[in-house]
Amino acid sequence: MGNTAHVYLTGSCVPNGSEFTIADQISLTLKQFPNVQYVKIYDQFGQTADMNGFGDSEPLCLDPGFVPSPTATVSLTPSRTPSPTRTPTLTRTPTLTRTPTRTRTPTNTPRPTDTRRPTLTPQWTLAKVFFVDKYRYDNNIQPFTVNGVRWVKSSPFMGTDVLKEFFKGPGNTEYFYYVWRAVYSGFTGYSSVTFSDGIARVYLTGVCAPERIDFTIADLIMLNLKQFPNVQFVKVYDENGVTEFPEGAVDSIPPCLKP
């Protein structure tokens, strides 16, 4: 399709932690032909990290930085073996006796209404983690942003776990093969993240020193947190706890990150 080859694999994906996988071999094999510029590789479920995006893509299970959801163990209870049917022995017909007076059957006690079991909430959620494409970022080609995916613990606010993954940086495949990078603008992490009334507040640590002011860590933090519908606004604070608009239903960033 165009200049992109799509490869749909069969079997079961069993990663071994290596940075060089079947995806690298397939890409090298196909890209020897000049008309193949990009290769998208799908797992046995038809899934790939970046199905519609621009560039190469491989199954998530082949990324060493990918942490899969724990697999639940299902215990099967063996079915009960029915007892053999008892064969009645032939007996002499008893003497007919008088039928006793019939006793009235008491009124049936109504059964309680069955309570419906609550729906189980998934323990893990597949969330996006946004970075930048280094080539596009360095050459000022919009859009800069790309995203990988990570499993995070399901909760009313999953932004904290997404930010943990963001500050870990791109995984090995994302970093070396896709050449993705994180933009930190001098910051090294965060001291706390709070969420209430639709507003997420992120308190950064480190020293504010943006490489450029038209696109900074604040842009990536907002993308990472606003992927969740319950996050309406994001306020980012510098290492001194300063942000431009600490109050009100608006986004806010530190003055040092403003253009």
| Per-residue pLDDT reduced to its tens digit, 217-238 | 999 999 999 999 999 999 999 9
144 domain-assigned: no
The domain containing residue 52 runs over which residues?
1-64
47 domain-assigned: yes
- What is the DSSP track for 114-148? PPPPPPPPPSEEEEEEEEEEHHHHHTT-S--EEEE
- With beta carbons less than 8 A apart as the criterion, state whether 30 and 36 touch: yes
52 domain-assigned: yes
Better pLDDT: 182 or 12: 182
pLDDT digits 0-9 by tens, 25-69: 898 888 888 778 788 888 887 888 877 777 888 888 887 666 554
CA distance 38 to 50: 12
Q: Which among 64, 63, 66, 62 has a CA at the least distance from the CA of 14?
A: 62
* Collapsed DSSP state (helix, strand, coil) of residue 7: strand
223 domain-assigned: no
pLDDT digits 0-9 by tens, 129-181: 999 999 999 999 999 999 999 999 999 999 999 999 999 999 999 999 999 99
26 domain-assigned: yes
pLDDT for residue 93: 52
210 domain-assigned: no
Helices of type H across the chain: 22-30, 134-138, 159-168, 172, 217-226
Query: What's the total number of domains in the chain?
Result: 1
48 domain-assigned: yes
